[in-house]
Chains A and B, each alone.
Chain A
Amino acid sequence: MNTGEQPVSTSERNFVTAALREGLRVDGRGAYEFRDLAINLGDGGYGSAEVLLGKTRVLANVAAEVVRPNAANATEGFVHFNTSFSPMASPAFEQGRLTDEEVLISRMLEKALRRSRAIDTEGLCIIAGEKVWSIRIDIHVLDHEGNILDCACIAAIAALLHFRRPDITVEGDNVIIHDMDERNPIPLSIHHIPICITFGFFDNGDRVLVDPTHLEEQVQDGNFIVVVNTHRELCTMSKAGGASLDVARIIQCTEVAAAKAAEVTELVRTALSKVIIRISIYCQHINQFITKVQ
Protein backbone atom coordinates (compact mmCIF):
# COMPACT_ATOMS: atom_id res chain seq x y z
CA MET A 1 0.00 0.00 0.00
CA ASN A 2 1.00 3.57 -0.63
CA THR A 3 1.11 5.19 2.76
CA GLY A 4 2.18 8.55 4.09
CA GLU A 5 3.42 11.44 2.02
CA GLN A 6 3.06 11.49 -1.71
CA PRO A 7 6.49 11.41 -3.37
CA VAL A 8 7.87 14.52 -5.10
CA SER A 9 10.08 14.21 -8.14
CA THR A 10 13.43 15.92 -8.44
CA SER A 11 12.23 17.81 -11.50
CA GLU A 12 9.27 19.32 -9.60
CA ARG A 13 11.53 20.17 -6.67
CA ASN A 14 14.13 21.84 -8.89
CA PHE A 15 11.54 23.71 -10.90
CA VAL A 16 9.80 25.16 -7.84
CA THR A 17 13.09 26.52 -6.45
CA ALA A 18 14.40 27.65 -9.85
CA ALA A 19 11.18 29.54 -10.59
CA LEU A 20 11.22 31.12 -7.13
CA ARG A 21 14.71 32.42 -7.72
CA GLU A 22 13.26 34.26 -10.71
CA GLY A 23 10.50 35.55 -8.46
CA LEU A 24 7.81 33.26 -9.91
CA ARG A 25 5.47 30.82 -8.24
CA VAL A 26 4.33 27.66 -9.93
CA ASP A 27 0.70 28.76 -10.02
CA GLY A 28 1.58 32.27 -11.20
CA ARG A 29 0.74 34.03 -7.91
CA GLY A 30 2.74 36.74 -6.19
CA ALA A 31 4.75 35.79 -3.10
CA TYR A 32 2.27 37.41 -0.68
CA GLU A 33 -0.87 36.54 -2.59
CA PHE A 34 -3.57 34.20 -1.26
CA ARG A 35 -5.41 31.84 -3.55
CA ASP A 36 -9.08 32.63 -4.29
CA LEU A 37 -11.12 32.30 -1.15
CA ALA A 38 -14.78 31.25 -1.31
CA ILE A 39 -16.92 31.00 1.82
CA ASN A 40 -20.29 29.26 1.70
CA LEU A 41 -22.30 29.62 4.85
CA GLY A 42 -25.38 27.87 6.14
CA ASP A 43 -25.78 25.22 3.46
CA GLY A 44 -26.08 22.69 6.27
CA GLY A 45 -28.09 24.91 8.65
CA TYR A 46 -26.77 27.22 11.37
CA GLY A 47 -23.07 26.87 12.04
CA SER A 48 -22.11 25.23 8.81
CA ALA A 49 -19.35 26.69 6.66
CA GLU A 50 -17.61 25.36 3.62
CA VAL A 51 -14.43 27.18 2.68
CA LEU A 52 -12.52 26.82 -0.54
CA LEU A 53 -8.97 28.11 -0.69
CA GLY A 54 -7.98 27.52 -4.28
CA LYS A 55 -8.69 23.80 -4.55
CA THR A 56 -8.32 23.08 -0.84
CA ARG A 57 -11.76 22.48 0.62
CA VAL A 58 -12.73 22.35 4.29
CA LEU A 59 -16.17 21.94 5.83
CA ALA A 60 -16.84 23.04 9.41
CA ASN A 61 -19.96 22.28 11.43
CA VAL A 62 -20.84 23.61 14.86
CA ALA A 63 -23.19 21.86 17.29
CA ALA A 64 -24.20 22.62 20.87
CA GLU A 65 -25.47 20.47 23.73
CA VAL A 66 -26.15 20.99 27.44
CA VAL A 67 -23.75 19.22 29.80
CA ARG A 68 -22.57 19.35 33.43
CA PRO A 69 -19.47 21.57 33.88
CA ASN A 70 -16.20 20.61 35.53
CA ALA A 71 -16.21 21.06 39.30
CA ALA A 72 -13.11 23.26 39.06
CA ASN A 73 -14.60 25.67 36.50
CA ALA A 74 -18.24 25.67 37.46
CA THR A 75 -19.15 28.62 35.24
CA GLU A 76 -17.29 27.70 32.09
CA GLY A 77 -18.72 25.98 29.07
CA PHE A 78 -16.82 23.63 26.81
CA VAL A 79 -15.41 24.07 23.35
CA HIS A 80 -14.27 20.95 21.55
CA PHE A 81 -12.58 20.58 18.23
CA ASN A 82 -12.91 17.51 16.16
CA THR A 83 -10.82 17.30 13.00
CA SER A 84 -11.19 14.57 10.44
CA PHE A 85 -9.01 14.09 7.40
CA SER A 86 -10.89 12.11 4.83
CA PRO A 87 -8.88 9.78 2.58
CA MET A 88 -10.94 11.41 -0.18
CA ALA A 89 -8.89 14.59 0.32
CA SER A 90 -5.52 13.02 -0.38
CA PRO A 91 -4.15 9.49 -0.69
CA ALA A 92 -1.76 10.46 2.12
CA PHE A 93 -4.63 10.39 4.63
CA GLU A 94 -5.79 7.08 5.98
CA GLN A 95 -8.85 6.25 8.01
CA GLY A 96 -8.04 5.75 11.68
CA ARG A 97 -4.35 6.62 11.46
CA LEU A 98 -3.08 10.13 12.11
CA THR A 99 -0.01 11.44 10.36
CA ASP A 100 2.23 13.99 12.06
CA GLU A 101 0.86 16.66 9.74
CA GLU A 102 -2.71 15.95 10.82
CA VAL A 103 -1.81 16.09 14.52
CA LEU A 104 -0.01 19.40 13.97
CA ILE A 105 -2.98 20.93 12.20
CA SER A 106 -5.46 19.85 14.90
CA ARG A 107 -3.19 21.21 17.63
CA MET A 108 -2.72 24.53 15.86
CA LEU A 109 -6.47 24.94 15.36
CA GLU A 110 -7.05 24.43 19.08
CA LYS A 111 -4.33 26.93 19.89
CA ALA A 112 -5.61 29.47 17.38
CA LEU A 113 -9.26 29.38 18.38
CA ARG A 114 -9.57 28.04 21.92
CA ARG A 115 -6.41 29.11 23.65
CA SER A 116 -6.66 32.59 22.14
CA ARG A 117 -10.01 32.82 23.96
CA ALA A 118 -11.89 33.73 20.83
CA ILE A 119 -15.02 32.09 22.22
CA ASP A 120 -16.46 33.42 25.46
CA THR A 121 -16.66 30.23 27.54
CA GLU A 122 -18.19 32.01 30.56
CA GLY A 123 -21.04 33.10 28.31
CA LEU A 124 -21.86 29.43 27.75
CA CYS A 125 -22.90 28.97 31.38
CA ILE A 126 -26.58 28.28 32.05
CA ILE A 127 -26.65 27.41 35.77
CA ALA A 128 -23.29 27.57 37.57
CA GLY A 129 -22.07 24.12 38.54
CA GLU A 130 -25.11 22.49 36.99
CA LYS A 131 -25.58 23.14 33.29
CA VAL A 132 -23.41 24.68 30.63
CA TRP A 133 -23.34 24.63 26.86
CA SER A 134 -20.78 22.42 25.20
CA ILE A 135 -19.85 23.59 21.72
CA ARG A 136 -18.45 21.07 19.32
CA ILE A 137 -16.75 22.09 16.09
CA ASP A 138 -16.37 19.32 13.53
CA ILE A 139 -13.85 20.06 10.84
CA HIS A 140 -13.75 17.90 7.74
CA VAL A 141 -10.95 18.25 5.27
CA LEU A 142 -12.52 17.36 1.94
CA ASP A 143 -9.78 18.24 -0.52
CA HIS A 144 -6.09 18.78 0.10
CA GLU A 145 -4.27 21.13 -2.21
CA GLY A 146 -2.01 22.61 0.44
CA ASN A 147 -2.40 24.95 3.39
CA ILE A 148 -5.21 23.05 5.10
CA LEU A 149 -4.56 24.93 8.33
CA ASP A 150 -5.43 28.43 7.08
CA CYS A 151 -8.47 27.09 5.27
CA ALA A 152 -9.66 25.10 8.32
CA CYS A 153 -9.16 28.10 10.60
CA ILE A 154 -11.28 30.33 8.36
CA ALA A 155 -13.92 27.61 8.09
CA ALA A 156 -14.03 27.12 11.86
CA ILE A 157 -14.31 30.80 12.75
CA ALA A 158 -16.87 31.44 9.99
CA ALA A 159 -18.95 28.51 11.23
CA LEU A 160 -18.74 29.78 14.83
CA LEU A 161 -19.83 33.27 13.77
CA HIS A 162 -22.70 31.86 11.77
CA PHE A 163 -23.82 29.46 14.50
CA ARG A 164 -26.96 30.18 16.53
CA ARG A 165 -27.87 28.25 19.68
CA PRO A 166 -31.46 27.85 20.85
CA ASP A 167 -32.70 30.45 23.35
CA ILE A 168 -33.21 29.33 26.94
CA THR A 169 -35.22 30.40 29.99
CA VAL A 170 -34.05 29.59 33.49
CA GLU A 171 -36.74 29.09 36.13
CA GLY A 172 -35.06 28.09 39.37
CA ASP A 173 -33.42 24.76 38.65
CA ASN A 174 -35.41 24.18 35.49
CA VAL A 175 -34.12 25.19 32.09
CA ILE A 176 -36.42 25.51 29.12
CA ILE A 177 -34.73 25.20 25.76
CA HIS A 178 -36.93 27.01 23.27
CA ASP A 179 -37.52 25.69 19.84
CA MET A 180 -35.80 27.61 17.01
CA ASP A 181 -39.25 28.50 15.58
CA GLU A 182 -40.56 29.67 18.93
CA ARG A 183 -37.80 32.14 19.73
CA ASN A 184 -35.03 33.57 17.65
CA PRO A 185 -31.85 31.57 18.24
CA ILE A 186 -28.89 33.36 19.77
CA PRO A 187 -25.39 33.81 18.34
CA LEU A 188 -22.33 32.83 20.35
CA SER A 189 -20.30 35.62 21.83
CA ILE A 190 -17.05 35.74 19.92
CA HIS A 191 -14.42 38.11 21.31
CA HIS A 192 -12.28 38.39 18.22
CA ILE A 193 -11.63 36.70 14.90
CA PRO A 194 -8.25 34.98 14.88
CA ILE A 195 -6.96 34.34 11.37
CA CYS A 196 -4.22 31.89 10.65
CA ILE A 197 -1.60 32.79 8.05
CA THR A 198 0.98 30.23 6.99
CA PHE A 199 4.31 31.14 5.44
CA GLY A 200 6.53 28.70 3.64
CA PHE A 201 10.17 29.51 3.22
CA PHE A 202 12.75 28.45 0.72
CA ASP A 203 16.48 28.87 0.17
CA ASN A 204 17.13 28.69 3.92
CA GLY A 205 14.72 31.47 4.75
CA ASP A 206 15.75 33.89 2.00
CA ARG A 207 12.46 33.57 0.17
CA VAL A 208 9.13 33.64 1.94
CA LEU A 209 5.72 32.79 0.48
CA VAL A 210 2.24 33.07 1.84
CA ASP A 211 -0.39 30.31 1.46
CA PRO A 212 1.83 27.51 0.07
CA THR A 213 0.26 24.94 -2.25
CA HIS A 214 0.67 21.22 -1.64
CA LEU A 215 3.72 21.05 -3.89
CA GLU A 216 5.30 24.10 -2.27
CA GLU A 217 4.65 22.56 1.15
CA GLN A 218 6.49 19.44 0.09
CA VAL A 219 9.47 21.38 -1.26
CA GLN A 220 9.76 24.12 1.39
CA ASP A 221 12.62 24.30 3.90
CA GLY A 222 10.23 25.03 6.72
CA ASN A 223 7.11 26.93 7.63
CA PHE A 224 6.08 29.67 9.96
CA ILE A 225 2.54 30.08 11.22
CA VAL A 226 1.16 33.34 12.57
CA VAL A 227 -2.30 33.69 14.09
CA VAL A 228 -3.39 37.29 14.31
CA ASN A 229 -6.65 39.25 14.42
CA THR A 230 -7.80 42.57 12.96
CA HIS A 231 -6.74 44.43 16.11
CA ARG A 232 -3.20 43.34 15.22
CA GLU A 233 -3.13 41.17 18.32
CA LEU A 234 -0.82 38.23 17.93
CA CYS A 235 -2.60 35.09 19.14
CA THR A 236 -0.18 32.29 18.35
CA MET A 237 3.04 31.75 16.47
CA SER A 238 4.49 28.44 15.51
CA LYS A 239 7.71 27.49 13.88
CA ALA A 240 8.28 23.79 14.21
CA GLY A 241 11.71 22.93 12.88
CA GLY A 242 13.03 23.74 9.43
CA ALA A 243 15.59 26.33 8.44
CA SER A 244 16.21 29.18 10.87
CA LEU A 245 14.71 32.64 10.36
CA ASP A 246 16.24 35.88 11.58
CA VAL A 247 14.31 38.37 13.70
CA ALA A 248 13.83 40.87 10.87
CA ARG A 249 12.17 38.14 8.77
CA ILE A 250 9.84 37.18 11.60
CA ILE A 251 8.79 40.79 12.14
CA GLN A 252 8.26 41.20 8.41
CA CYS A 253 6.13 38.01 8.34
CA THR A 254 3.94 39.16 11.22
CA GLU A 255 3.42 42.51 9.47
CA VAL A 256 2.31 40.72 6.30
CA ALA A 257 0.15 38.35 8.36
CA ALA A 258 -1.61 41.27 10.05
CA ALA A 259 -2.41 42.83 6.67
CA LYS A 260 -3.57 39.48 5.23
CA ALA A 261 -5.68 38.72 8.30
CA ALA A 262 -7.49 42.03 7.84
CA GLU A 263 -8.28 41.11 4.22
CA VAL A 264 -9.52 37.64 5.18
CA THR A 265 -11.63 38.99 8.06
CA GLU A 266 -13.25 41.40 5.62
CA LEU A 267 -14.15 38.46 3.34
CA VAL A 268 -15.59 36.49 6.27
CA ARG A 269 -17.63 39.52 7.36
CA THR A 270 -19.00 40.07 3.84
CA ALA A 271 -20.00 36.41 3.60
CA LEU A 272 -21.72 36.64 6.99
CA SER A 273 -23.58 39.86 6.24
CA LYS A 274 -24.92 38.36 3.02
CA VAL A 275 -26.31 35.40 4.94
CA ILE A 276 -27.75 37.61 7.66
CA ILE A 277 -29.59 39.68 5.05
CA ARG A 278 -30.97 36.43 3.65
CA ILE A 279 -32.10 35.30 7.11
CA SER A 280 -33.74 38.66 7.92
CA ILE A 281 -35.68 38.62 4.63
CA TYR A 282 -36.79 35.10 5.46
CA CYS A 283 -37.89 36.22 8.96
CA GLN A 284 -39.87 39.12 7.45
CA HIS A 285 -41.69 36.68 5.19
CA ILE A 286 -42.49 34.42 8.13
CA ASN A 287 -43.76 37.36 10.22
CA GLN A 288 -45.92 38.60 7.35
CA PHE A 289 -47.30 35.12 6.96
CA ILE A 290 -48.07 34.86 10.68
CA THR A 291 -49.86 38.24 10.75
CA LYS A 292 -51.91 37.22 7.70
CA VAL A 293 -52.93 33.99 9.40
CA GLN A 294 -53.92 35.85 12.55
Chain B
Amino acid sequence: MVVLPGDIVPIPESEQTVRVGPGLRQDVANIVVAKAGILKQSVTGDRVWVEGNQRRYVPQLNESVIGIVTAKHVEGFRVDIGGAHPATLGALAFEGATKRNKPNLEIGALVFARVCLANKDMDPELDCVNPSNGKADGFGEVKGGFMFKCSLGLCRSLLDPKNPFLQHLGAICPFEMAVGMNGRVWVDAGTPKQIIVLVKALLGSEAVPYSKARTYVKEFKSDLTSVE
Protein backbone atom coordinates (compact mmCIF):
# COMPACT_ATOMS: atom_id res chain seq x y z
CA MET B 1 0.00 0.00 0.00
CA VAL B 2 1.41 3.39 -1.00
CA VAL B 3 1.33 5.88 1.86
CA LEU B 4 2.04 9.60 2.02
CA PRO B 5 3.24 11.77 4.91
CA GLY B 6 0.39 12.57 7.27
CA ASP B 7 -1.60 9.39 6.53
CA ILE B 8 -2.85 7.53 9.58
CA VAL B 9 -2.04 3.83 9.53
CA PRO B 10 -4.23 1.31 11.35
CA ILE B 11 -2.39 -0.45 14.18
CA PRO B 12 -1.99 -4.10 13.15
CA GLU B 13 -3.70 -6.74 15.24
CA SER B 14 -1.02 -8.76 17.01
CA GLU B 15 -0.58 -10.56 20.28
CA GLN B 16 2.92 -9.21 20.63
CA THR B 17 3.85 -5.58 21.10
CA VAL B 18 3.80 -3.87 17.70
CA ARG B 19 7.08 -2.15 16.85
CA VAL B 20 6.99 0.91 14.66
CA GLY B 21 9.87 1.15 12.18
CA PRO B 22 11.39 3.77 9.84
CA GLY B 23 9.04 6.25 8.20
CA LEU B 24 6.37 6.00 10.88
CA ARG B 25 5.93 7.83 14.15
CA GLN B 26 3.55 7.63 17.01
CA ASP B 27 1.27 10.57 17.58
CA VAL B 28 -0.76 9.99 20.78
CA ALA B 29 -2.92 6.99 19.87
CA ASN B 30 -2.24 6.95 16.13
CA ILE B 31 0.59 5.80 13.92
CA VAL B 32 1.32 8.57 11.44
CA VAL B 33 3.32 8.24 8.22
CA ALA B 34 6.41 10.49 8.05
CA LYS B 35 7.65 9.78 4.52
CA ALA B 36 6.26 8.63 1.19
CA GLY B 37 6.70 4.99 0.30
CA ILE B 38 5.19 1.55 0.51
CA LEU B 39 3.81 0.37 3.83
CA LYS B 40 5.36 -2.96 4.79
CA GLN B 41 4.49 -5.40 7.53
CA SER B 42 6.41 -8.37 8.85
CA VAL B 43 4.94 -11.89 8.45
CA THR B 44 4.34 -12.12 12.18
CA GLY B 45 2.52 -8.81 12.02
CA ASP B 46 4.34 -7.21 14.91
CA ARG B 47 6.50 -4.84 12.86
CA VAL B 48 5.43 -2.11 10.46
CA TRP B 49 7.57 0.28 8.47
CA VAL B 50 7.58 2.39 5.31
CA GLU B 51 9.93 1.58 2.44
CA GLY B 52 10.78 4.43 0.12
CA ASN B 53 13.77 5.52 -1.89
CA GLN B 54 15.81 8.52 -0.82
CA ARG B 55 19.40 9.67 -0.66
CA ARG B 56 19.74 11.23 2.78
CA TYR B 57 20.11 8.85 5.66
CA VAL B 58 18.05 9.05 8.83
CA PRO B 59 19.60 6.82 11.51
CA GLN B 60 17.43 4.00 12.83
CA LEU B 61 18.10 1.67 15.72
CA ASN B 62 19.86 -1.62 14.86
CA GLU B 63 20.70 -0.71 11.27
CA SER B 64 24.22 -1.51 10.12
CA VAL B 65 26.00 1.47 8.62
CA ILE B 66 29.39 2.39 7.15
CA GLY B 67 30.93 5.45 8.73
CA ILE B 68 34.05 7.55 8.27
CA VAL B 69 36.03 8.44 11.38
CA THR B 70 36.29 12.24 11.50
CA ALA B 71 37.74 12.82 14.97
CA LYS B 72 39.34 10.94 17.86
CA HIS B 73 38.41 11.60 21.48
CA VAL B 74 39.50 10.08 24.77
CA GLU B 75 36.24 8.22 25.17
CA GLY B 76 35.74 7.26 21.54
CA PHE B 77 35.41 8.41 17.95
CA ARG B 78 33.27 10.84 16.03
CA VAL B 79 31.96 9.14 12.90
CA ASP B 80 30.22 10.54 9.83
CA ILE B 81 27.40 8.24 8.78
CA GLY B 82 25.81 10.58 6.26
CA GLY B 83 23.02 11.67 8.59
CA ALA B 84 22.21 15.19 9.71
CA HIS B 85 24.36 14.75 12.81
CA PRO B 86 27.68 12.95 13.37
CA ALA B 87 27.53 9.74 15.36
CA THR B 88 29.68 8.73 18.30
CA LEU B 89 31.42 5.38 18.53
CA GLY B 90 32.63 4.48 22.02
CA ALA B 91 36.19 3.22 22.39
CA LEU B 92 34.85 0.30 24.44
CA ALA B 93 32.19 -0.66 21.91
CA PHE B 94 34.48 -3.19 20.22
CA GLU B 95 35.01 -6.90 20.74
CA GLY B 96 37.41 -7.49 23.61
CA ALA B 97 38.05 -3.79 24.18
CA THR B 98 39.07 -2.73 27.68
CA LYS B 99 40.27 0.56 29.14
CA ARG B 100 43.85 -0.62 28.56
CA ASN B 101 43.27 -2.21 25.19
CA LYS B 102 41.42 0.25 23.00
CA PRO B 103 41.15 -0.02 19.24
CA ASN B 104 43.21 2.48 17.31
CA LEU B 105 41.31 3.94 14.39
CA GLU B 106 42.91 6.68 12.34
CA ILE B 107 40.99 9.70 11.05
CA GLY B 108 39.58 8.73 7.67
CA ALA B 109 39.19 5.05 8.57
CA LEU B 110 36.04 3.24 7.50
CA VAL B 111 34.03 1.42 10.13
CA PHE B 112 31.19 -1.01 9.68
CA ALA B 113 29.02 -0.51 12.74
CA ARG B 114 25.56 -0.90 14.16
CA VAL B 115 23.39 2.01 15.26
CA CYS B 116 22.75 1.35 18.95
CA LEU B 117 21.04 4.63 19.80
CA ALA B 118 18.90 6.67 17.47
CA ASN B 119 16.78 9.15 19.36
CA LYS B 120 15.11 12.04 17.68
CA ASP B 121 16.87 14.81 19.60
CA MET B 122 20.24 13.20 20.32
CA ASP B 123 23.34 12.43 18.29
CA PRO B 124 23.22 8.79 17.19
CA GLU B 125 25.54 6.26 18.79
CA LEU B 126 27.26 3.29 17.18
CA ASP B 127 28.86 0.09 18.38
CA CYS B 128 30.92 -2.65 16.76
CA VAL B 129 29.81 -5.63 18.84
CA ASN B 130 26.80 -7.88 18.84
CA PRO B 131 25.18 -6.98 22.19
CA SER B 132 23.90 -10.52 22.76
CA ASN B 133 27.28 -12.30 22.70
CA GLY B 134 29.92 -9.57 22.79
CA LYS B 135 31.44 -10.78 19.49
CA ALA B 136 32.39 -8.55 16.54
CA ASP B 137 30.22 -10.49 14.06
CA GLY B 138 31.84 -8.78 11.08
CA PHE B 139 31.60 -5.29 12.56
CA GLY B 140 34.72 -3.17 12.93
CA GLU B 141 37.18 -1.37 10.71
CA VAL B 142 37.13 -2.17 7.00
CA LYS B 143 40.45 -1.75 5.23
CA GLY B 144 41.43 -1.38 1.59
CA GLY B 145 38.85 -1.79 -1.16
CA PHE B 146 36.61 1.05 -2.19
CA MET B 147 33.46 2.63 -0.84
CA PHE B 148 30.78 4.09 -3.07
CA LYS B 149 27.65 6.03 -2.27
CA CYS B 150 24.23 5.07 -3.60
CA SER B 151 20.55 5.54 -2.88
CA LEU B 152 19.05 3.96 0.21
CA GLY B 153 16.76 1.92 -2.04
CA LEU B 154 19.74 0.27 -3.73
CA CYS B 155 21.27 -0.50 -0.34
CA ARG B 156 18.11 -2.26 0.69
CA SER B 157 17.98 -4.28 -2.50
CA LEU B 158 21.64 -5.29 -2.06
CA LEU B 159 20.75 -6.65 1.38
CA ASP B 160 17.83 -8.61 -0.05
CA PRO B 161 18.70 -12.34 0.20
CA LYS B 162 16.85 -12.87 -3.10
CA ASN B 163 19.00 -10.31 -4.97
CA PRO B 164 20.20 -12.17 -8.10
CA PHE B 165 22.81 -9.61 -9.19
CA LEU B 166 25.18 -10.47 -6.36
CA GLN B 167 24.87 -14.19 -7.11
CA HIS B 168 25.61 -13.75 -10.80
CA LEU B 169 28.44 -11.25 -10.26
CA GLY B 170 29.97 -13.42 -7.55
CA ALA B 171 29.95 -16.40 -9.91
CA ILE B 172 32.10 -14.47 -12.41
CA CYS B 173 34.46 -12.76 -10.00
CA PRO B 174 34.68 -13.37 -6.25
CA PHE B 175 34.39 -10.18 -4.21
CA GLU B 176 33.89 -8.96 -0.68
CA MET B 177 31.17 -6.50 0.17
CA ALA B 178 29.75 -4.62 3.16
CA VAL B 179 26.44 -2.81 2.75
CA GLY B 180 25.55 0.00 5.12
CA MET B 181 21.93 1.06 5.31
CA ASN B 182 23.14 4.67 5.09
CA GLY B 183 23.71 4.59 1.34
CA ARG B 184 27.31 3.44 1.48
CA VAL B 185 28.64 0.21 0.07
CA TRP B 186 32.18 -1.07 0.46
CA VAL B 187 33.59 -3.52 -2.09
CA ASP B 188 36.90 -5.28 -2.46
CA ALA B 189 38.03 -7.59 -5.26
CA GLY B 190 41.27 -8.79 -6.81
CA THR B 191 42.21 -5.79 -8.94
CA PRO B 192 41.18 -2.10 -9.09
CA LYS B 193 39.74 -2.76 -12.56
CA GLN B 194 37.44 -5.45 -11.15
CA ILE B 195 36.34 -3.14 -8.34
CA ILE B 196 35.53 -0.37 -10.82
CA VAL B 197 33.48 -2.70 -13.02
CA LEU B 198 31.70 -4.16 -9.97
CA VAL B 199 30.78 -0.69 -8.71
CA LYS B 200 29.45 0.23 -12.14
CA ALA B 201 27.45 -3.01 -12.35
CA LEU B 202 26.01 -2.62 -8.84
CA LEU B 203 25.06 1.05 -9.35
CA GLY B 204 23.41 0.20 -12.66
CA SER B 205 21.48 -2.70 -11.15
CA GLU B 206 19.13 -0.25 -9.43
CA ALA B 207 17.28 0.31 -12.70
CA VAL B 208 17.19 -3.35 -13.81
CA PRO B 209 14.43 -5.75 -12.73
CA TYR B 210 15.47 -9.00 -11.03
CA SER B 211 14.18 -11.02 -13.99
CA LYS B 212 16.76 -9.45 -16.33
CA ALA B 213 19.69 -9.88 -13.90
CA ARG B 214 21.36 -12.71 -15.85
CA THR B 215 21.57 -10.86 -19.18
CA TYR B 216 22.51 -7.62 -17.40
CA VAL B 217 25.44 -9.19 -15.57
CA LYS B 218 26.69 -10.89 -18.79
CA GLU B 219 27.57 -7.44 -20.20
CA PHE B 220 30.21 -7.07 -17.52
CA LYS B 221 31.66 -10.58 -17.81
CA SER B 222 34.47 -9.75 -20.23
CA ASP B 223 35.55 -6.70 -18.20
CA LEU B 224 35.55 -8.65 -14.96
CA THR B 225 37.56 -11.60 -16.23
CA SER B 226 40.09 -9.79 -18.43
CA VAL B 227 43.63 -9.93 -17.09
CA GLU B 228 45.99 -7.09 -17.89
Which residue numbers of A lie inside 8 Å of B, CB to CB? 1-2, 6-15, 18-19, 22, 24-28, 91
Contact = CB atoms under 8 A, between A and B. Distances in A.
Given A24-B193, A28-B196, A2 B144 contact: no
A10 B85 CA distance: 21
Nearest to B111: A9
Given A2-B84, A7-B70, A7-B80, A15 B108 contact: no
Contacts of A91: 56, 82
Nearest to B200: A28
| Chain B, interface residues (CB within 8 Å), range | 20 to 34
Contacts of B193: 19, 22, 24
B58 interface: no
Interface string B174-206: 000000000000100000110111011000000
Given A1-B84, A24-B193, A11 B143 contact: yes
B216 interface: no
B147 interface: yes
A9 B200 CA distance: 20
Contact of A27 (B70, B86, B200): B200
A15 B146 contact: yes
B117 interface: no
Nearest to A18: B192
Contacts of A28: 196-197, 200
Interface string B147-160: 10000000000000
A10 B108 CA distance: 5
A7 B108 contact: yes
Question: 3 smallest A-B Cβ distances: which pairs?
Answer: A10-B108, A15-B146, A19-B192
Nearest to A14: B144
B166 interface: no
B7 interface: no
Nearest to A25: B196
A126 B228 CA distance: 65
B76 interface: no
A7 B68 contact: yes
Interface in B45-77: 56, 68, 70
A24 B192 contact: yes
A28 B148 CA distance: 14
8 contacts: A2-B85, A7-B68, A8-B68, A8-B108, A9-B147, A11-B145, A26-B196, A91-B82
B3 interface: no
B111 to A, nearest CB: 10
A13 B200 contact: no
A6 to B, nearest CB: 8
A15 B195 contact: yes
Contacts of A13: 108
Contact of A1 (B85, B142, B147): B85
B67 to A, nearest CB: 9
Contacts of A9: 68, 108-110, 147
A242 to B, nearest CB: 20
Contacts of A19: 192-193, 195-196
A90 B192 CA distance: 27
Interface string B108-149: 111000000000000000000000000000000011111100
A210 to B, nearest CB: 18
Interface string B69-113: 010000000001011111000000000000000000010111000
A216 B173 CA distance: 26
